[in-house]
Amino acid sequence: MGNVVVVGSQWGDEGKGKVVDWLSERADVVVRFQGGHNAGHTLVIGEKVFKLSLLPSGIVRPNKLSVIGNGVVLNPWALLDEIEAVRAQGVEITPENLLIAENTALILPLHSQLDQHREQGNSGTRIGTTGRGIGPAYEDRVGRRAIRLGDLANPDTLASRVENLLTHHNALRRGFGAEEIDGDQIIAELQDVAPKVLPFATAVWRHLDEARRAGKRILFEGAQGAMLDVDHGTYPFVTSSNTVAGQAAAGSGIGPGAADFILGITKAYTTRVGEGPFPTEQDNDVGRRLGERGREFGTVTGRKRRCGWFDATMVRQAVKVCGISGIALTKLDVLDGMEELKIATGYRLNGEPLDHFPASMADQAAVEAEYETIEGWSESTQGAQSWVDLPATAIKYIRRIEELIEAPVALLSTSPERDDTILVRDPFTD
């Protein structure tokens, strides 16, 4: 039995929720390995719509073990709110089916406050964060001053941990002209939430090792997309964690050899939320049409997404960096009825050809996409469940994408419904 890592191959919002849910039905364990409650997955199961930000997608299915790994930064209050919301939809959540790594760093109210102070006070580069404290929490983790979930079980040392944290944060707050934080208040808040979240805390890596040795199928679920990776993305317009497939190992406590198949979720066009370079963006009727047909609004923030043509050069880079075995191509039906389509096959930088997305912020802003035009199709692909249901020109578009990104299509999604999926290669068994 194989273990599968699911990552986004663009700037997030590729439709991972449906694909992960489709795969989670066949998995035994579903692991979330990075990010925080800034990322959202929408799952449609029958008549119910689940909007998840922290909980792994497997939580909505019975007899699945869901795991929040150490690579996640955890807002305990947001987690409890999400648990209650999902419970209200009839889902049972207990320490028997949800485990959280005891070494997971916590997001506190002061982190989101710092996030907002920075974004509002930054007169230069605006990143366009969600303001939920993800970045500051990761900074504290790397700076070795974070409060971790397991710390809540040790009230005798919690006070010193909070004092160390506030030495840093109160200095920052003074710089912003903000009121300093009372350590006693934070301690009281953490002591109040501790008994509600500690029952889920455990040495996650041991459970994953046991599951692997028992031959269980493990699904590793990433958030955002490869081009938002803090190292490999469009820096500094990125998230604060590693979103590439290699993070599945470090962010869950299992060796990199555990990944048997890496599935890159890839939208049939391109979108991004927030600021940053976007070579194929269409700030015109084409972009508006893609946004309206694709209902391109963020699950967590509700922000309108920027839309543009498919960027094969960027996705090919994600394929290489993540070691993607195959892609799940989503939202093909959004392109129905368009007379012609364009695919970015390369870039030009200062008049010279370029076959990859550069690392320099200045170069990223300056690259210009070079396009290849492909005939569109008038027939509907929505709800197609086999290749014979697809127009010949749609298949031609898919095949050209495969050639350009140098990776095959393993799954093809043609609507938000789970059954509207064409399986080409089974990630768990092939």
Over residues 30-52, the pLDDT tens digits come to 999 999 997 777 777 777 888 88
Nearest to 348 by CA among 319, 324, 313, 379: 313
d(CA 216, CA 29): 7
* 3-state secondary structure at position 137: helix
Query: Can you tell me the distance from the alpha carbon of 60 to that of 57, in angstroms, rounded to the nearest whole number?
Result: 7
Indicate the pLDDT class of residue 156, thresholds 50, 70 and 90: confident
Predicted local confidence at residue 126, as pLDDT: 59
Average pLDDT over residues 56-85: 95
Number of other residues whose CB lies within 10 A of the CB of residue 419: 9
Q: Which of 92, 37, 32, 96 is nearest to 68 (CA)?
A: 32
Average pLDDT, the chain: 93
For 225-248, what is the mean pLDDT?
Answer: 96
The model's pLDDT over 190-213, given as tens digits with 9 standing for 90+, comes to 999 999 999 999 999 999 999 999
pLDDT given at position 1 = 57
- Rounded to whole angstroms, the Cα distance separating 147 from 170 reads 16
**Closest residue by Cα to residue 352 from 342, 363, 362:** 363
Q: Is the pTM of this model over 0.85?
A: yes
Cα(200)–Cα(96) distance, integer angstroms: 8
Residue 111: active-site member? no
Higher per-residue confidence, 418 vs 177 = 177
Which residue in the list 21, 28, 37, 41 is annotated as catalytic?
41
The whole-number pLDDT of residue 417 equals: 77
pLDDT in tens, 272-294: 988 899 999 999 999 999 999 99
- Residue 98, pLDDT above cutoff 90: yes
Residue 304, token pair as written in the block? 């309108």
Residue 28 falls in the annotated catalytic set: no
Q: What are the CA-CA distances from residue 290 to residues 16, 331, 394, 395 (Å)?
A: 18, 10, 16, 19
Asked if pLDDT for residue 17 goes beyond 90, the answer is: no
Residue type, 44: V
**pLDDT digit string, tens, across residues 391-423:** 999 999 999 999 999 999 999 998 877 778 899
Q: Which of 13, 140, 229, 311 is the catalytic position?
A: 13
**234-240: average pLDDT:** 94
Residue 300: per-residue pLDDT: 59
Comparing C-alpha atoms, which of 7, 10, 20 is closest to residue 322?
7
Q: Tens digits of per-residue pLDDT, 219-229?
A: 999 989 999 99
| Model confidence at 73: pLDDT above 90 | yes
132-136, 171-175, 356-360, 426-430, range with the lowest pLDDT = 426-430
End-to-end CA distance of the chain: 9
Full DSSP string of 204-251: HHHHHHHHHHTT--EEEE--S-GGG-TTTSSTTSS-SS--STTHHHHT
Q: What is the pLDDT of residue 238?
A: 93
If you average pLDDT over residues 103-114, what whole number do you get?
A: 95
